Structure 1
Amino acid sequence: MANRISALAVDCTDPRRLADFWCAVLGYEISEVDDEGDISIAGDGPPFRIDFLRVPDGAKGAKNRLHLDLNATDRDQAAELARLLDLGAVSVDIGQGDVSWHVLADPEGNEFCLLRSQVAPFAGTAAG
């Protein structure tokens, strides 16, 4: 028997801010908001959601042990980098050196990478 990843949980101080950021980055939409203000977002591709869960312990304090790798679907890496920075991402140096990808952080400091290659969008998405 095997498992399938169905969600990624992200602890944060401001679920709405991160949900809005990641919806803009990924082309996802808010799919659920619970009574505590936790927010789930999802796209049209394979069943997968990202849950933004409010935690009381404040901003993160160390480098992520797990991060997302992103590939643009409809533009080159330079154009996508400019778009992500305009959305509020910031470039970060985690000791990666001279590499072909960009290490960025979302508005709460969660690192993610923008890879060089462009990939096809999932069938049925707005970009496809």
Structure 2
Amino acid sequence: MSCHLSELVLNCHNPEMLSRFWCEVLGYVELGRDGNDIEIGPESGFGGPAPTIVFALVVEKKTAPLRLHLDLNPVDRGQDAELDRLLALGARPADVGQTGEESWHVLADPEGNEFCLLRRRLSRQ
């Protein structure tokens, strides 16, 4: 028996802002709301091959790097063009101790949550 990864929950101060940012980044849509929390995911909805993301309102400020981060791959453009797009959406470069020789870019979303933009282009599924 095994499990299926169905949701990722990200504690945040501004679920509205982060859900809009990540919908643009991932091509997701808003799937639902529960109080102040917002769930986004693929148009096919909850339970498919891609997990949904729940942005859960919390009052505590982020004080350390996340122990889990997202790795993203471009699907319809190269890494440089995707980097430009993500920066235009509000991402910013983040320093987590990289050497400068990496093939990926470390970025942070508008609330400072780190994620990586990898080089390999994947096909959209």
Common fold, TM-score beyond 0.5?
yes
> Any unmatched runs of 5+ in structure 2?
none
Q: How many residues align?
A: 120
**Quick one: distance in 2 between partners of 1:14 and 1:42?**
18
TM-score, scaled relative to structure 2: 0.92
Q: Write out per-residue CA displacement over residues 48-107 of structure 1, whole angstroms, 9 at most, x where no aligned residue.
A: 2000000121x3111111000000000000000000000000001100112010000001
Cα RMSD of the aligned pairs, angstroms, is 1.0
Structure 1 runs of 4+ off > 6 angstroms?
none
The residue aligned with 2:120 is 117
1:17, CA displacement in angstroms? 0.4
> Any unmatched runs of 5+ in structure 1?
123-128
Q: Write out per-residue CA displacement over residues 25-68 of structure 1, whole angstroms, 9 at most, x where no aligned residue.
A: 0000000012x2100001146252000000121x3111111000
With over 3 angstroms needed to count, the CA separation of the structure-2 counterparts of 1:110 and 1:42, relative to structure 1, is same
**Quick one: distance in 1 between partners of 2:65 and 2:51?**
24
TM-score, scaled relative to structure 1: 0.90
Q: Return the match for 1:56 from 56, 59, 78.
A: 59
**Quick one: distance in 2 between partners of 1:54 and 1:26?**
21
After TM superposition, the structure 1 stretch with the greater mean CA deviation from structure 2, 71-80 or 42-51, is: 42-51
Residue 42 of structure 2 corresponds to residue 39 of structure 1: no
SS at match of 1:66: coil
After TM superposition, the structure 1 stretch with the greater mean CA deviation from structure 2, 111-120 or 40-49, is: 40-49
Percent of paired sites with the same residue:
52
With over 3 angstroms needed to count, the CA separation of the structure-2 counterparts of 1:47 and 1:68, relative to structure 1, is closer
Alignment of 1:5-20 (within 5 A): 5-20=5-20
